[in-house]
Structure 1
């Protein structure tokens, strides 16, 4: 859902309001340095006229030299101080924009990220925000410089030297505005293409790093290199287009500036020869002009930068104007805690981009402190049901209740604090094992972390690692085996004192012996919790208080393990199939069609 809101503009205004005194001080310091620079033409005029009239003495030279030194040091100190204040504010803006962007991403639903490329999100946080920083850092600084130098220089040139010559010199300069107008759309378009190309390139690198094992296994290094080369070349081509536009814009701007210099030299020389102005006036005029030209050129660069900034602004604004679909509704009643009784009533649900229902007319009651097991084929709706219980997706109103309270009326913080979850993909962060287990807003003591690790039967494995619980994990925890990652994820859920705990196929990567030990521990741990277990293994869920079987989104069977075996339905067929598969896996058999078969024993 998209809704246009001036979040980004409001943030800019708020930033300038909060830091107005720093910007004001930076502006004042910069203005002082610019005013001091404008004494240079006056000093040069006095020196040149003195030489021409042969009225200058050695003492005058020392005095002029001293003034040049004072002006130079003063301008340096004031300019440096002004730059520090203004540039420091631009870095603060950069920090705040990234924080705003990241905070907004945290509010968005999981479905948003399924439709986004990681590289594009990274490009928003790095490149787009960096351009916005440059607008403040370079844009604000150069516009202040231009405003002060242009206004005072033009006034001094016109009032103290020659009005008509000033008007002639300024005549070509409005052409810079026309050039900026002509180039604005091209620069904006090329800048947008560059930012998107950077996003694509970043996504390619991220995908390569995540899938390196698969790439090497299937000998796809050369193909991946070709894909990267193509994306990299596209990035180069888009940058070339931007460089061409920028170079043409800069060259034309400099041509107009050169025309002003030509007018100044030609007509200024004529005025000197006619004694309309002195040689000192001529030198001072051209010095003013040199001080004037740089900020005028910078105005063109700022206009150029603003076009790039507009493209970056649109990309960031697009993110910030995306409203989170999962959020607390207005006027919601505060709920401090939940007890854990769950009731699902006539639940039907389909994903936004799907025409087919993922769940159809589901009715389940899970009393507080009991266990529910969910089995079914891949795609039968098991994980969808869990996602709805966690409100990673919004269930229909009046379809899921916790403690007789509609889940849509339970504050998200309360709901997610009350549920411990072991996800199917066993995601671990690239931090220490201790930090992964104690991943919760509430702090945990070391003995609690150790106790959770022992319950998940991962303690001995951790103690075999070089730094025990302080061992740093690699990206996504891939330095651990699949079974170890699952058990760390289980420990992360067990340490959380929540009334509801959910296991989404979280013992699939451990061997049967380890599974039996973990299940024995979990049964005693979960006596006081409402637990939901999703599994493909009957051995994992056969002790549950109730078991349901999902098939194509429908609840087709329910009951205890023994009751379901007597029904001679899908559950019994699954049980029989798994029993047969277990016997088959422990038998010996010859190679098929002359191909060698390698069976890798699962690491727990």
Structure 2
């Protein structure tokens, strides 16, 4: 259901609390009427020379008590109402963050980090100001204006009240004229803040690239442009606010002028007493503050409306990927039997399909390797398996069930994936490896690190597993980040393991150790490997070669070499690269791999299938190239 208001819903949910705050504020406003009455009576007694020293002290004491009562009730009401605004502040950020977590990856790919940060910080702060000063000033103005005008009419003179207040409705006309202008300029200010935040975030994230390419001056220029734009938008808003405030003050000042001139004439003609004149102007002084505050409220409300619209645009965005209506809540785990039938997939913004007529069967406990050129659709296939995007109906099945029937939490909870970017959080190494709702013991964390061949590196740090990483794990090398990502995936002991280019940053010796260590981990688990490096994929039960989104070759390592196609060409090029770098060059083309790799590839019995030859249980746990 689409949300139409954030502030309205908050006020409705806390209506009784706001009523209590309103009651306290009303008492404060009523108490403010006492002082003008006392001043009027005091002036009349003084004019008639009836005021005694004792009586003057009594008037002074009552004014002090009234002032203390006003301060008490006004402070308590402010604290109470402002507390509610802080609750809204916390509530919006909480809802916003939770909603972001429900949105699909496509949403975040089309938005800048700085803009999202601006929503969570700047826009929410503006909304808080609306419910803080805006609601308080509006309530105070409503109560104080109402009771003061009624008192002025009934206790002083209706005609004087009418002429004095006659200019004030012009404030409403003024507010209406400035409404759209302030709202538009407030939106531009929030946008400029988002631009600045994005620029700083992008610069910090890419600081190494900036320095490597000597782009400091260019970055300063770009930041200066964004900064100047932010200043310009703020100046426009300040100009509008100042003009609105000045015109409001002029209208209020004209009301005072009418009061002094017309009231003075009435005093001279004996229509009202001097005390009534003093009381009337005191009442009018009480009105001026709230009336001028209404001008500020108009400004705050329009800024709040602009920010609320920006936040509602997010909260009313629904995730592209969510549990379908046919999802079976009884499913608690998956076994890992994958069946893909005639899958053709096109990204929403693309004109050509990323995958074309993919038909593939990966039985439970076997391994699949996917190789191909950059952009051939390798990573897309994996993204569909974890439903980062929705595959077409009737194309992807797991354990005989269509993937949409499996709840997302169950699906993703039983898939361990090592992504290409090896993203690590700016927390400890231990927390990064144990990044899962399930708590892990130290022994499990260490064992996962050993299997991923990163344990020896971790224990060399002063704080070992409690070492805090920089943002995105920048304090680790590329290979260390990859191995920590591998440890994070395998510690879950998932039903399906996916390695997306996860060994591209390690040397071949470390790669061999990782593969050997992961043999037991992959036992009885479905494993999918994406890679370019043949040594990373050759022991898989089946290998498919993608080109322009279609499967052009499939088989085992040996059968694909014998085929002499794309896979064989890639293999030969890698052998030449190794020879060029000074690595051993094998005399026997039939060997085609290093002896230890050949032994690992051939130590399992081969099983004949209709389309290829697969080993019975050989698996692999890495990747070696850029996925498409």
- TM-score, L = length of structure 2: 0.91
Any residues of structure 2 matched to 1:204-603 within 5 Å, and which? 204-334=199-329, 335-586=331-582
- CA-CA distance at 1:571 after TM superposition: 0.7
C-alpha distance in 2 between matches for 1:352 and 1:484: 35
The 8 Å contact of residues 414 and 494 in structure 2, kept in 1 or not, is answered as yes
Q: Which moved more, 1:577-586 or 1:411-420?
A: 577-586
- CA-CA distance at 1:13 after TM superposition: 4.4
- CA-CA distance at 1:273 after TM superposition: 1.2
Query: CA 1:6 to 1:40, structure 2 compared with 1: closer, same or farther past 3 Å?
Result: farther
Does residue 31 in structure 1 map to residue 19 in structure 2?
no
**Which of these residues, 104, 108, 122, is aligned with residue 113 of structure 1?**
108
- CA-CA distance at 1:331 after TM superposition: 4.1
After superposition, the C-alpha distances for 1:458-501 in whole angstroms (9 at most, x for unaligned) are 11111111211111111100010000000110000011021011
C-alpha distance in 2 between matches for 1:64 and 1:6: 58
- CA-CA distance at 1:246 after TM superposition: 0.7
After superposition, the C-alpha distances for 1:340-360 in whole angstroms (9 at most, x for unaligned) are 100111011111111111111
Which residue of 1 is the match for residue 595 of structure 2? none
Which residue of 2 is the match for residue 141 of structure 1? 136
**1:78 partner SS:** helix
C-alpha distance in 2 between matches for 1:479 and 1:57: 82
C-alpha distance in 2 between matches for 1:351 and 1:31: 59
**2:518 partner SS:** helix
Does residue 47 in structure 1 map to residue 42 in structure 2?
yes
Does residue 96 in structure 1 map to residue 72 in structure 2?
no
The 8 Å contact of residues 7 and 131 in structure 2, kept in 1 or not, is answered as no
Which residue of 1 is the match for residue 593 of structure 2? none
- CA-CA distance at 1:451 after TM superposition: 1.0
After superposition, the C-alpha distances for 1:319-346 in whole angstroms (9 at most, x for unaligned) are 1221111011124222111111001110
**1:94 partner SS:** helix
C-alpha distance in 2 between matches for 1:310 and 1:502: 46
C-alpha distance in 2 between matches for 1:180 and 1:108: 38
The 8 Å contact of residues 418 and 502 in structure 2, kept in 1 or not, is answered as yes
The 8 Å contact of residues 326 and 404 in structure 2, kept in 1 or not, is answered as no
The 8 Å contact of residues 49 and 279 in structure 1, kept in 2 or not, is answered as yes
The 8 Å contact of residues 449 and 487 in structure 2, kept in 1 or not, is answered as yes
C-alpha distance in 2 between matches for 1:83 and 1:231: 38
**1:315 partner SS:** helix
Gaps of 5+ in 2: 584-628
Q: Which moved more, 1:395-404 or 1:30-39?
A: 30-39
- TM-score, L = length of structure 1: 0.95
C-alpha distance in 1 between matches for 2:380 and 2:4: 35
Q: Which moved more, 1:287-296 or 1:322-331?
A: 322-331
C-alpha distance in 2 between matches for 1:240 and 1:12: 27
Does residue 159 in structure 1 map to residue 154 in structure 2?
yes
Any residues of structure 2 matched to 1:177-188 within 5 Å, and which? 177-188=172-183
C-alpha distance in 1 between matches for 2:371 and 2:400: 26
C-alpha distance in 1 between matches for 2:65 and 2:393: 75
The 8 Å contact of residues 8 and 320 in structure 1, kept in 2 or not, is answered as no
Size of the aligned set, in residue pairs, is 582
- Tell me how large the CA RMSD over aligned residues is: 1.1
- CA-CA distance at 1:26 after TM superposition: 1.4
C-alpha distance in 1 between matches for 2:275 and 2:486: 84
Does residue 172 in structure 1 map to residue 133 in structure 2?
no
C-alpha distance in 2 between matches for 1:156 and 1:112: 57
Q: Which moved more, 1:341-350 or 1:321-330?
A: 321-330
Query: CA 1:416 to 1:377, structure 2 compared with 1: closer, same or farther past 3 Å?
Result: same
C-alpha distance in 2 between matches for 1:194 and 1:165: 44
Which residue of 2 is the match for residue 600 of structure 1? none
